[in-house]
Chains A and B, each alone.
Chain A
Amino acid sequence: MRQIIYFIKKFRYFLLFIVLETLAFIVIVQDRSYHQSKFVNSANAITGGFYNKANSVSAFFHLKKDNQLLSEENARLKNLLDAKENKFDLDSFTVKDTSQYFQKYDYSVAKVINNNFTKRNNFLTINKGAKYGLAPDLGVINSKGIIGVIKNVSSNYANVLSILNTNSKINVRLKNSNHFGTLVWDGKDYNITQIIDIPRQALVKAGDTIITGGKSAIFPEGIAVGVVKDFKYEQNKYQIINVMLFNDMSAIGEVQIVKNLHKDEQIILEQSVVNE
C-alpha cells in the first residue's frame, strides 16, 4: 500500500499528464466520427456570443459588398418571376393556394459569425439555432453556391460543416449531362475543390458548370457549385477533377438555410426499400 502511494507521489505529474492527454484524445476521437455530434464546438452560448459581438463590428465593413450581392440576386429573381408571368398569361384562371402542399424546400436566412478556411477541417458558425427551427443535416447556401451542412445546433447558434472539410461529401453533377459525382476537398486551396467517383462515360471539359445533384435529401437540385478548372484522365478513368468554386469561401456573410420538407418521407421510403 505504501509503495503504491509512493509510486503515485513520485509520478504524480506524469499521471496527471496522462489523464489530461487521454481526455484530449477522447475529445479528438469523438470529433472525428462523423455521426456523433461533437461536444467541443463553437455553437454554444459563450463562444457564439463572443463571435456574435466581434462580428457585429466586422460586418459593418462588408455592408457595401453584401448590398451588391443582394441587389444582384434580386435582379436575377425578378427576371425569373417575369419569365414565369409571361408563360401563364391566360385570360382567367382559378387561384388555388397550393403553396403549402407542393412546397418542397423552405429557406431561411442567417449570418456567418465565424468562418474558417485555412485549416484542413473547417467549420463555420452562424447566428441562428434551434430556436429558429434549425437542426443538424440542413443545407447551407448563399446566392453564389453551396457552403456546407449544419452539424451541431444550440438554442441560438449553429455549427456548419464547411465543404472545405475532410468529412464533407456532397452529391454534385455536371449541368449538361446528368453524370453524378461527389464533391470533396484535398485541403490545398480554398477556392478549388475536387470531384471523385464520376463515371468514365461522362464527357468533362474545362469550363463545364457543376451543380448540386439533388440525390441527397439535403440540397435541392441545381444549386451552383463551380466550374471545372482542369482534370486528369488516366487509366480509363477520371483521376482528378478540379472545380473552381463560384463562392469566395474566405468572405461569406449572409447565408440561407435550406430545409427539405419532404426529407423524412424520402428517408423512410429509402429505408423501407433497403429493409425488404
Chain B
Amino acid sequence: MNNIALNNAIRFIGLLFLQVFILNHVNIFGYINPMVYIAWVFLYPVRKTRSLFLILSFLLGISIDFFSDSGGINAFAITFIAYFRLPILMAVLRKSDLDYGQFNLKTLSANKIILFIAILTFIHHFIVFSVEYFSFSELLNIVSRTVFTGIFTILISFLGITLFTKRK
C-alpha cells in the first residue's frame, strides 16, 4: 500500500516537472508542445473509490496551470478526463464490471492501450484548446492543434508506458 502511495507521489512530481521544464519548451515544428502529464490519468491505479484520484488529478492540473500561466484550463480538462476514465475504460474493454484489485493497464493488448489513451488524450486536448481560444471562428485552429498535439502526446505516453513501467 505504501509502495503505491510512494509511486504515485514520485509520478506526480516527475510528470509535473517533465511537463513544465521540458515538454512545454520543445516546440516541435515550431508550436507543438505535447501534454504528456495526462499520463497520470492513464497510470493511476483503477480502484472502486475515486475521490482521491479526482482530487489529485485536479491538483496536478492546477500545478501545471501555476507554472504555465494558463489559469485553470489544465485543471478543468484533466479533472474531466479523470472522471470519465472509468466509463471509457469499460467501453474500450467492452465489459460492464471490472476486477478492481487486479486490473493493470499493462496486461491489455497494445491496440486497446492506444485506443484508451487516444480517446482520453483527444478529449483533454480539445477542451484545453477550446477554452484557450474560446471562439467559434477559430474552430479549425482548435481541431488542428488538438490533432497534431494529440498525436505527439499519444506517441510519447505510449512509448513511456511501455518502456518505463514494469510488466507484472
Q: What is the CB-to-nearest-CB distance from A248 to chain B, in angstroms, rounded to a whole number? A: 12
> A42-B69, A116-B68 given as contacts; is B141 within 8 A of A21 (CB)?
no
Interface residues of B in 119-160 (CB under 8 A from A): 131-134, 138, 141
Of the stretches B36-44, B48-56, B108-116, the one at the interface is B48-56
List of A residues within 8 angstroms of B67 by Cβ: 42, 47, 50-51, 114
Interface residues of A in 96-147 (CB under 8 A from B): 114, 116, 118-123, 125
Q: What is the CB-to-nearest-CB distance from B61 to chain A, in angstroms, rounded to a whole number? A: 7
Q: Are A24 and B50 in contact (CB under 8 A)?
A: no
Q: Does A214 contact B (CB under 8 A)?
A: no
List of A residues within 8 angstroms of B75 by Cβ: 20, 23-24, 27
Residue of chain B at shortest CB distance from A120: B132
> A17-B83, A54-B21, A121-B132 given as contacts; is B72 within 8 A of A24 (CB)?
yes
Residue of chain B at shortest CB distance from A25: B76
Q: Are A16 and B31 in contact (CB under 8 A)?
A: no
> A28-B131, A118-B27 given as contacts; is B62 within 8 A of A40 (CB)?
yes
Taking a contact as CB atoms closer than 8 A, the residue among A24, A38, A121 that contacts B61 in the complex is: A24
Q: How far is the CA of A200 from the CA of B32 in the complex (A)?
A: 37
Please tell me the number of chain B residues within 8 Å of chain A, measured between CB atoms: 35
> A27-B75, A44-B66 given as contacts; is B80 within 8 A of A21 (CB)?
yes
Q: How far is the CA of A184 from the CA of B123 in the complex (A)?
A: 30
List of A residues within 8 angstroms of B31 by Cβ: 118, 190
Q: Are B71 and A30 in contact (CB under 8 A)?
A: yes
Q: How far is the CA of A120 from the CA of B149 in the complex (A)?
A: 14
Q: What is the CB-to-nearest-CB distance from B30 to chain A, in angstroms, rounded to a whole number? A: 8
Residue of chain A at shortest CB distance from B72: A27
Please tell me the number of chain A residues within 8 Å of chain B, measured between CB atoms: 40
List of B residues within 8 angstroms of A13 by Cβ: 50-51, 54, 83
Q: How far is the CA of A46 from the CA of B63 in the complex (A)?
A: 11
User: Which of B70, B73, B75 gathers the greatest number of chain A CB atoms within 10 Å?
Assistant: B70
List of A residues within 8 angstroms of B131 by Cβ: 28
Q: Does B19 contact A (CB under 8 A)?
A: no
Q: How far is the CA of A37 from the CA of B50 in the complex (A)?
A: 34
List of A residues within 8 angstroms of B51 by Cβ: 12-13, 16
Q: Does A168 contact B (CB under 8 A)?
A: no
Q: Does B8 contact A (CB under 8 A)?
A: no
Q: What is the CB-to-nearest-CB distance from A12 to chain B, in angstroms, rounded to a whole number? A: 7
Taking a contact as CB atoms closer than 8 A, the residue among B54, B61, B68, B141 that contacts A42 in the complex is: B68
Q: Are A27 and B79 in contact (CB under 8 A)?
A: no
Interface residues of A in 1-45 (CB under 8 A from B): 12-14, 16-17, 20-21, 23-28, 30-32, 38, 40-42, 44
> A12-B51, A118-B27, A120-B133 given as contacts; is B76 within 8 A of A21 (CB)?
yes
List of A residues within 8 angstroms of B55 by Cβ: 16, 20
Q: Are A20 and B65 in contact (CB under 8 A)?
A: no
* Residue ranges of B at the interface with A (Cβ–Cβ < 8 Å): 20-21, 24, 27, 30-33, 50-51, 54-55, 58, 61-62, 65-73, 75-76, 79-80, 83, 131-134, 138, 141
* Residue ranges of A at the interface with B (Cβ–Cβ < 8 Å): 12-14, 16-17, 20-21, 23-28, 30-32, 38, 40-42, 44, 46-47, 50-51, 54, 114, 116, 118-123, 125, 159, 187-188, 190, 250
A12-B51, A47-B66 are known; give 14 further A-B pairs, CB within 8 A.
Answer: A16-B54, A20-B54, A20-B58, A23-B75, A25-B72, A28-B72, A28-B76, A31-B72, A38-B71, A41-B69, A114-B67, A118-B27, A121-B70, A187-B133
State the 4 A-B residue pairs at the shortest beta-carbon distance, nearest first. Answer: A31-B71, A27-B72, A123-B69, A24-B76
- Could you list 29 A-B pairs, sorted by A, with CB under 8 Å? A13-B83, A17-B54, A17-B83, A20-B54, A21-B76, A24-B61, A24-B62, A24-B72, A25-B76, A26-B72, A27-B71, A28-B71, A28-B76, A31-B70, A31-B72, A40-B69, A40-B72, A42-B66, A50-B20, A50-B21, A50-B67, A116-B68, A116-B69, A118-B27, A118-B33, A119-B70, A120-B133, A188-B141, A250-B27
